[in-house]
Amino acid sequence: MSQLFARVELLGSPDEKAYEQLHQYMSGMNWYKKISGVDLPHAVYQAQFQQEHPDLLAVANGLKAEIQRMIWTRALILIVRSVDWAKTAA
């Protein structure tokens, strides 16, 4: 199982409505804005994948195609697969 993080940037001048639609879309695709109860930075999402080494470019291109089709016409997607991670106490 792999833990992936996605950073989505809507290029140009997106309004708050566009990011609300993005958050809804990502949540519907099982990408979440929290990890261990802590909010991730703006437009950063986390998801679990069954494959140990998913095709990161395919994941990025799939998200980009759907986001550009449904939400905003220009988007950049960064996908990172975590090997390990830690968080500090608040």
Tens digit of each residue's pLDDT (9 = 90 or more) over 48-90: 999 999 999 999 999 999 999 999 999 999 999 998 877 777 7
The CATH number given to whatever domain includes residue 53 is 3.30.70.270
Domain that holds residue 58: 2-82
Is position 90 within any domain? no
**Overall domain count for the chain:** 1
Q: Give me the pLDDT at residue 70, please.
A: 97
What is the pLDDT at residue 88?
A: 78
pLDDT average, residue stretch 4-15: 97
Q: Which residue type is seen at 79?
A: I
In a domain, 10, yes or no: yes
Nearest to 82 by CA among 41, 39, 33, 45: 45
pLDDT of residue 64: 98
pLDDT value, residue 84: 82
Is 17 inside a domain boundary? yes
**For residues 63 and 34, what is the distance between their CA atoms, to the nearest angstrom?**
19
For the chain, give the mean pLDDT: 95
